Structure 1
């Protein structure tokens, strides 16, 4: 059985075109062409397929576009390559993804600068490499058993993002700053998750303490600090960290990182974690119920509520919570963690659990995205 933790990273890979990095734009591209996607062959259809998890269809579409020479401009090739690498990664074809990435030159090459193609991008300068491509380049070595290489690349990417933040500050570009600030938060969470997955709690504590020294009121970092303190047995310390997050929520100070509902749910989930450590599962369920009432797609709250009910010996209701979520919000709830937990509950609750799991497996085969690991049902 697995609890979902707020340290879990959910990576959005579908809005790749919005990640085109522009350092200085004296005449915004959108004023001349409508939008960046207008320059690229059917990019919106790739986005739609990615939202649906149709990764095999993405590979087919990209292969056709390349074969028919439909991609004319430099940035188009980068965007399509980015979708291709992510699709291969989602389908666990890591060697092919790595080979695709190896076809690229250094990301800082003049070849990937807008100003190198003034006929295509007048008055535009900066890098056309999507941030998502930089991120997947950092992650691929881990999939090939090279964990340290991934960590090295992630730390280098974090330095790159912070350089961009400094440039945005000096240019007084608030929109640019907010975008790069979110990318910084994403990378920090990702790096911490890598260390947490290897139970390197001491390293996590050092890293997060250092980060908080320059970003003292970051609610996401404070929540992660509380979780790490909990893992180290410092329950009182984790309470202090979680209480500070709640104070920031009451002040409405999320640093631009969270919407109001997300902030409130973060606070409730933090409280629930404290209750769970004390085995007060009734109170934990109450906190998770508040989360779900605000946001029916909060899969962390849904999953953990079900497990709390199971620990309260209410297997029937715990199963109903997960089944209901799969029925109501399959796009969010259909995760391998949820399915593994539901199948474990079936095994505890029913003698004929094999038949019930087969029914679930058949349903998953019809609705799941291409990258879903159907073996998690253990049929």
Structure 2
């Protein structure tokens, strides 16, 4: 949960000198970060309420950081109206009230915005979640412009580490935009956005794979095969941009091949590709989930259920996602007469181990 600030050019390490620990940046920040990592979003809401009630937040950026964690927690818990209320309590995010240089006595030598990037993202996301899609899209595109302005600024002063962070943010925002257009089957827009990103980084295996996925959705199987072949060539010639580890790159190649086999209804070959992925990385949930689906299409419900159950047992923190659980429950319904009892057992287990934001309704018990 970082803000967009920096100190003077001679002081570029945000934790040096006056900041000896992360808690010096903001009141009890390490505790908030730990709760967020564990998915304890309700505890974050309680912690923020307590800090506010006891007046523990003294500096302007303390208030903004706690507000950002609170808004994120409400968003994760799908309490979008409450997240919106947090945002409504702020002025324009680019207001001078939220800049360090407005308070020189408190923040000597620090300049820039106190507003964490995630708060800008939530500001764009919430209207979409509340049914105001166009307003949300407008804000997402505005956020994309904002990130690109920042990238230009960092390029001019050659701040490599900061530039890398902003490029990742650009990719994140672009993926949000693409995902929103995809959900409304606006494939032409998605294709142009991805091709735009590829002009900046033609060797990004994830982007090229995304292009292939969209090509599959619009029925362009041959185009998808070309895109997936390009990813394989990057791996073979070691020309990838380094965004993935060797195992991740090999697995994305296998998953791409498997997708083509699935479209062609060659589920046996698809299972073989997914098995290679799982052998390399037994926490590759995409491969595990899709292997189970292929086995189900091959009418091997018993094995498909075992694949998902084993994953939940072996790596619950990785495997516990709504899509996988929905698929497992569908398989239970197909395979067992007493599926309600089995799903209830699964639901009880999820209640014990899942993070706060897991949607328990996906078990359909």
Structure 2 counterpart SS, 1:125: strand
Gaps of 5+ in 1: 1-15
Instruction: Give the TM-score taking structure 1 as reference length.
Output: 0.91
Asked if the contact 1:29–1:36 (Cα under 8 Å) also holds between the matched residues in 2, the reply is no
Tell me the alpha carbon deviations over residues 315-337 of structure 1, each in whole angstroms, 9 at most, x when there is no partner.
11111111111111111211111
- Superposed, 1:213-252 pairs within 5 Å as 213-252=199-238
Tell me the alpha carbon deviations over residues 205-253 of structure 1, each in whole angstroms, 9 at most, x when there is no partner.
2322333334333322211111111111111111111111122223333
Please tell me whether residue 49 in structure 1 is matched to residue 35 in structure 2. yes
Gaps of 5+ in 2: none
Please tell me whether residue 280 in structure 1 is matched to residue 266 in structure 2. yes
Kindly indicate whether structure 1 or structure 2 has the higher relative contact order, using CA contacts under 8 Å at least 6 residues apart: 1
Alpha-carbon distance between aligned partners in 2 of 1:80 and 1:61, rounded to the nearest angstrom? 9
Alpha-carbon distance between aligned partners in 2 of 1:238 and 1:280, rounded to the nearest angstrom? 16
Tell me how far 1:24 sits from its aligned partner.
Answer: 5.5
Please tell me whether residue 197 in structure 1 is matched to residue 180 in structure 2. no
Q: Where does residue 156 of structure 2 map in the other structure?
A: 170
Alpha-carbon distance between aligned partners in 1 of 2:280 and 2:23, rounded to the nearest angstrom? 34
What is the root-mean-square deviation of aligned Cα atoms in Å? 1.6
- The 3 A distance-change label for structure 1 pair 293 and 62 is same
Find 1:299's aligned residue among 264, 282, 285. 285
Asked if the contact 2:22–2:29 (Cα under 8 Å) also holds between the matched residues in 1, the reply is no
Tell me how far 1:256 sits from its aligned partner.
Answer: 4.2
Alpha-carbon distance between aligned partners in 1 of 2:67 and 2:305, rounded to the nearest angstrom? 41
Q: Where does residue 174 of structure 2 map in the other structure?
A: 188
Tell me how far 1:185 sits from its aligned partner.
Answer: 1.1
- Superposed, 1:337-348 pairs within 5 Å as 337-348=323-334
Asked if the contact 1:302–1:325 (Cα under 8 Å) also holds between the matched residues in 2, the reply is yes
Tell me how far 1:141 sits from its aligned partner.
Answer: 0.4
Alpha-carbon distance between aligned partners in 2 of 1:175 and 1:214, rounded to the nearest angstrom? 18
More displaced, 74-83 or 261-270? 261-270
Asked if the contact 1:178–1:256 (Cα under 8 Å) also holds between the matched residues in 2, the reply is no
Alpha-carbon distance between aligned partners in 1 of 2:212 and 2:7, rounded to the nearest angstrom? 39
Q: Where does residue 20 of structure 1 map in the other structure?
A: 3
Tell me how far 1:161 sits from its aligned partner.
Answer: 0.6
Q: Where does residue 15 of structure 2 map in the other structure?
A: 30
- The 3 A distance-change label for structure 1 pair 37 and 248 is farther
Q: Where does residue 158 of structure 1 map in the other structure?
A: 144
Paired positions, count: 362
Find 1:64's aligned residue among 47, 50, 55. 50
Find 2:322's aligned residue among 330, 333, 336. 336
Tell me the alpha carbon deviations over residues 94-113 of structure 1, each in whole angstroms, 9 at most, x when there is no partner.
11110110111112111111
Asked if the contact 1:29–1:121 (Cα under 8 Å) also holds between the matched residues in 2, the reply is no
Alpha-carbon distance between aligned partners in 2 of 1:30 and 1:230, rounded to the nearest angstrom? 47
Alpha-carbon distance between aligned partners in 2 of 1:25 and 1:348, rounded to the nearest angstrom? 63
Instruction: Give the TM-score taking structure 2 as reference length.
Output: 0.95
Tell me how far 1:88 sits from its aligned partner.
Answer: 0.9
Structure 2 counterpart SS, 1:162: helix
Aligned structure 1 segments of 4 or more residues deviating by more than 4 angstroms: none
Structure 1 counterpart SS, 2:253: helix
Please tell me whether residue 271 in structure 1 is matched to residue 254 in structure 2. no
